């Protein structure tokens, strides 16, 4: 029987690290890819605008990816449009894809003049979504979320 708390902790940690095939310690893990699939305006008033972002998560790994929450920031032409969090939980199957929606609230009026000029001159609008995805797995680091692209002004309406 082990009587020392320090020795018990060392034995427990050694046992954890000796697990073969444990997904937590597998170094061959590839981060999933997150892509913006659609943007939809939900409502707009003078103080706040609501958008629905539809994101696609592609899991290139041989095991399910649990998503337990996310913190994100949305940028248009390097102007921070919105930040937010979601606690929607879902699993992305191994070698699979899952779509999910995020509601974004913002006040774009301070940037509206710049955005209207871009649309009038038919200049592309760059977007960027950054953040972290929490998997809820024990000892698992947060996954980095970074998606960039361009929106064609002819597809935008105000």
104 half-sphere exposure, CB direction, 13 A CA radius: 25
pTM above 0.75, yes or no: no
Give the residues of the chain that fall short of pLDDT 70. 1-29, 108-116, 118-119, 137-141, 153-158
Alpha helices in the chain (DSSP H): 5-17, 109-120
Distance in angstroms (rounded) separating the CA atoms of residues 150 and 89: 28
pLDDT of the residue at 97: 96
Beta bridge partners of 41: 51
Question: What b/e sequence results for 53-76 when a residue is b if at least 16 CB atoms lie within 10 Å of its CB, and e otherwise?
Answer: bebbbebebeeebebeebebebbb
Beta bridge partners of 127: 76, 149
pLDDT of the residue at 20: 43
Residue 49 CB contacts under 8 Å (≥ 6 apart), including other chains? 41, 43, 105, 106, 107, 108
Beta bridge partners of 57: 34, 98
113 DSSP assignment: H
Beta bridge partners of 70: 86, 133
CB atoms within 10 A of CB 127: 19
153 DSSP assignment: G
Q: What is the pLDDT of residues 78-107, one digit of tens each?
A: 888 778 888 888 899 999 999 988 888 777
3-state secondary structure of 19: coil
pLDDT of the residue at 98: 94
């Amino acid at each position: 029987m082990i009587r020392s708390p320090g020795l018990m902790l060392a034995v427990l940690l050694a046992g954890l690290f000796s697990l073969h095939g444990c997904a937590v310690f597998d170094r061959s893990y590839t981060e999933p890819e997150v892509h913006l699939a659609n943007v939809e305006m939900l409502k707009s008033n003078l103080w706040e605008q609501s958008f629905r972002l539809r994101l696609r998560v592609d899991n290139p790994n041989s095991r399910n990816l649990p998503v337990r929450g996310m913190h994100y920031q949305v940028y248009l032409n390097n102007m921070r449009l919105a930040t937010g969090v979601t606690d929607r939980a879902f699993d992305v199957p191994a070698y699979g894809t899952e779509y999910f929606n995020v509601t974004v609230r913002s006040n774009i009026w301070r940037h509206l003049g710049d955005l209207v000029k871009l649309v009038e001159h038919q200049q592309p609008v760059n977007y960027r979504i950054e953040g972290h995805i929490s998997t809820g797995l024990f000892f698992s680091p947060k996954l980095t979320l970074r998606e960039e692209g361009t929106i064609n002004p002819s597809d935008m309406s105000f």
